[in-house]
Structure 1
Amino acid sequence: MKFGSFTFQPQKPMGFDFHVFRVKPETGLRLKPMQDMHSNIAVFADTHTGKEHPDWISQSPLGLAKFGNNNFNLYWSVICATQPEYREDQLKYIADVDRQSQGIWLNSQYFAEHGHCTCPRCQKLYKKSGLSWLEWRRKEVTDYIAQIRDVVKKDLVLSIQPDPVSSLERYGVNFDDFAKYADVFNVVMFSKNYATPWYWEMLARGFKKILKKPFYISLYVYGPGDAPQDVPTTQELLTVTARCARSGADGFLYLTDGEKEIVDFQKEAIEKRELREKLRTYGGKEVQEALDKIAEWEKIVK
C-alpha cells in the first residue's frame, strides 16, 4: 500500500511515499518538471492549444469537445487524438519531461468522449482502416500509447476514467491494451463529495477484477480556487479510502492545490481517532495498511 501526493504546486508534503506534480494540467500551461517528483501531463486536454488552433479541437455530431458544450460537460478543450502536429509535439514534450523527473503520469491520453472524433481527417483515417468505428478508435489510442512507451524510460502510469464498463465505447480505451505499456494504472475518482462511499468501492472492485497491472486511486481533497464548503469532508475521505482499500487497490493519491491543503487534511485526519478506530473494523490487511499510514501522520504533522 502506497500513498502519494498529487499537487498543482511543486511541493512535497511529508507523509507520502511519492509525489506527483501536475506539470501540464488541462489548461495547457507547461510548468518546470522537478527532478524529485513524478510529472503528470494531460495529453489531449489542452485549452491553451485549443484557443491557438480551434480547428484542432475534437469534433462530433454533438459538437466540439470544449467548455460550454453540455453534451459532454467538459471544463476544458480536448484536441483531436489524431492531430499529427500535436501528437508529435506531445511525444517530444513527454520525452523531455521524463528526462527531468521521476517518471510520467498521463491522463487524457485518448479520445474526448463517445462520438469523437468526426473531423475530416478522422473520417478519412477510419474509412481507410477497414476496421469498425470502435476498433479503429481503439487502435489509434493504443498505437499512440505504444509510441509514448518508447520515449518514456522511467515509470509510465496511465490514468483512466472511473468507468470499468464502457471506456472502449467512450474513449477508445481497452484496459488489456494499456496493460502492455503501463507500469501502473491510476483510476481517477475525483469528486467533491464522497458521501456515498459504496459507489466508489463498487467501482474499485470492478477495476480490481479486470485490470492486469497494479492500480492506484486518486481522491479529490482541495483544488485551486475551492472553498471549504465545496470540497469533501475529512470523514468522507477517510471512509472512502478504507472502503476502496478493501477492494484491493494498491495505493491512493490525494489531490490538492499544494502542500498547505494536504497538511490541513492530515491534521484533521489524525484528529479523527474515533472514526479511524471504527474504520479498522471495515476489513483486513489492506484497510489496516491504509489506516496505519494515516496514523503515521501523527509523527510529522503538528
Structure 2
Amino acid sequence: MGKTIGVVSRFPEHLSHFDLAYYEVKDVAGVWHPPIVGTVPMVSVFGDNRAASDHPEWVQVDANGQRAVRSSRYFDWDAICPSHPEVRRLAVDWVQKAAQQSRSRRLRLDDASFAREGYCRCELCLEKAGGQDQLEAYRQRVISAFVEEVRNDIPHVDMTLFPDPLPGHLERRFGNNLDQLSDLVDRFIVPIYDLHYATTYWLEILAQGFRERLTRPFFVELYALGVAEEALGRAAEVALHYADGVLFAYGNKLDALLRLRERLERVS
C-alpha cells in the first residue's frame, strides 16, 4: 500500500491538488483564517502572540519568572498557559469553530503542549498540581484531558509533536504523554525543518527514533519554502522509509510540489 504524500499550505489554490491538505486556520500570531471545505484545519492551540499581548497574565513562566515570549532567547512565539480556564475555553472554541466551518471530520492540533521543560510554573499551575514535585504529572494530565475533550466532538484528531524522540523527553519537556495520547490521537505529525537538507543523517536518526517510539501512524513534515527541490526530494525519501507519510510545508511552487509527490509515489 502506498504511503501518504500531502501538504501544509497557506495557498488555497494548492490544496485541491493533494488528497491530504492541512490548512492553517489559526496561527501562532493569533490570526484566524477562514477554513476551507475539503481540507483539514490546523489550529495552534497554546501558541498565540495576540492573546499573550492582550493578557500577559496568561503567559507561561518558569521557576525564575522568565516568560515564554518571543523576546526570550528560547521562543519563536508566545505560549499561553493551559491551566487558565479562559485559555482552555478559548482553545476549545477555536477547535470547534474550525471543525464546524470546515465541515471536516478531522482536525490537527498544533502547539498542544507546554512551552518546554520548566514551563509553566505560575501560581495557578503550582496550586492545581499540588506542589512543584507534582508538576510533571500534572502537565501531562492537562494536555491529555484537553485532547480527550476535543476528541469528544471530532471523530479524527491529528497532533503535532516536537521532534524529540528520546524516551521521556516529550513527557517531561512538553507534557505530551505518548501512552495517554496514543489512545486519543489518530496520527502524529513530526515537523523536522531545515533550510537546506544538505545532509540527511540527522533526519534519519529522528525519524527512526519516532518509528520506534510511536504505536500510532506518524507523518514527517518537511519545510519546503525556498528549499532546493532535489535536496527536498532526497530528504523526503529518507523520511518516508520510516514514516507513514510525508508532508511538504509552506512551499509556494505548486509545480515543484507536484513533481515531488510523483517522485515519492514511485518509491513508496
Query: Given the two structures, how large is their TM-score scaled by the length of structure 2?
Result: 0.90
Partner of 1:81: 82
Runs of 4+ in 1 over 6 A off after TM superposition: none
Q: Residues 144 and 195 from structure 1, CA distance in 2 versus in 1: closer, same or farther, beyond 3 angstroms?
A: same
Aligned residue type for 1:37 = T
**One-letter amino acid of the counterpart of residue 87, structure 2:** Y
What's 1:238 paired with? Answer: 233
8 Å CA contact 1:44–1:78 kept in 2: the answer is: yes
Partner of 1:250: 244
* Alignment correspondent of 2:157: 156
Q: Is the 8 A contact 2:9 2:15 kept in 1?
A: no
**3-state SS, counterpart of residue 100 of structure 1:** helix
1:266 aligns with 2:257: yes
User: 2:171 aligns to what?
Assistant: 168
Equivalent residues in 2 for 1:125-136, closer than 5 Å: 125-127=128-130, 132-136=134-138
Q: Could you tell me how far 1:266 is from its partner in structure 2? A: 3.3
| Count of residue correspondences | 261
Check whether the contact 2:14–2:254 (CA below 8 A) recurs between aligned residues: no
CA drift of 1:293 comes to 7.5
> Aligned residue for 1:39?
41
In structure 1, give the amino acid aligned to 2:246: F
Cα deviation per residue 1:183-226 (whole Å; 9 max; x = unaligned)? 1111111222312211111111111111111111111011xxxx
Q: 2:55 aligns with which of 44, 53, 56?
A: 53
Distance 2:13 2:214 in 1: 31
Q: 1:79 and 1:264, CA in 2 relative to 1: closer, same or farther beyond 3 A?
A: same
- Which amino acid counterpart does residue 237 of structure 2 have in structure 1? A
- C-alpha contact (below 8 Å) 1:256/1:262 kept by paired residues: no
CA pair 132-77 structure 1, distance change in 2 beyond 3 A: same
Which amino acid in the other structure matches residue 20 of structure 2? F
1:268 Cα offset (Å): 7.0
The answer to whether the 8 A contact 1:78-1:112 is kept is yes
Measured at CA, do residues 32 and 122 of structure 1 come closer, stay the same or move farther in structure 2, by a change above 3 Å?
same
Once the two structures are superposed, residues 121-180 of structure 1 have per-residue CA deviations (whole angstroms, 9 ceiling, x without a partner) of 01111116x973321211111111111111223x21011011011111110111121111
Displacement after TM superposition at 1:12 (Å): 3.0
CA contact (8 A) 1:242 1:291 kept: no
- Partner Cα separation in structure 2 for residue 57 and residue 31 of structure 1: 23
Contact 2:82–2:88 (8 Å) recurs in 1: yes
Q: Which residue in the other structure is 1:282 paired with?
A: none
What secondary structure does 2:157 align onto? strand
Q: Relative to structure 1, is the Cα distance of residues 151 and 14 closer, same or farther in structure 2, using a 3 angstrom cutoff?
A: closer
**Residues in 2 aligned to 1:262 and 1:131: alpha-carbon distance in whole angstroms:** 50
Kindly indicate whether the alpha-carbon contact (under 8 Å) linking 1:91 and 1:151 is maintained by their aligned counterparts in 2. no
Q: Which residue of 2 aligns with 1:292?
A: 266
Q: The residue matched to 1:79 in structure 2 has which SS?
A: coil
Does structure 2 retain, via aligned residues, the 8 Å contact 1:13–1:262?
no
**Residues 122 and 5 (structure 1), Cα distance of their counterparts in 2 relative to 1, 3 Å cut:** same
| TM-score scaled by length of structure 1 | 0.80
Partner amino acid, structure 2, of 1:47: N
Match of 1:119 in 2: 122
SS of 2:25's partner is strand
Aligned to 2:158, the other structure's residue is in SS state strand
**Structure 2 Cα separation of the partners of residues 105 and 39 of structure 1:** 6
Query: 1:104 & 1:125 partners in 2: Cα distance?
Result: 29
CA contact (8 A) 2:8 2:23 kept: yes
For structure 1, list consecutive stretches of 5 or more residues without a partner in the other structure: 223-230, 277-289, 295-302
Q: Does 1:221 align with 2:224?
A: yes
Structure 2 match to 1:211? 214
Counterpart-to-counterpart distance in 2, 1:134 and 1:38: 31
Give, in whole Å, the separation in 2 of the partners of 1:188 and 1:61: 28
Partner Cα distance (1:45, 1:159) in 2: 13
**What RMSD in Å do the two structures reach over aligned CA positions?**
2.2
Displacement of 1:83 in angstroms is 1.5
Structure 1 residue aligned with 2:204: 201
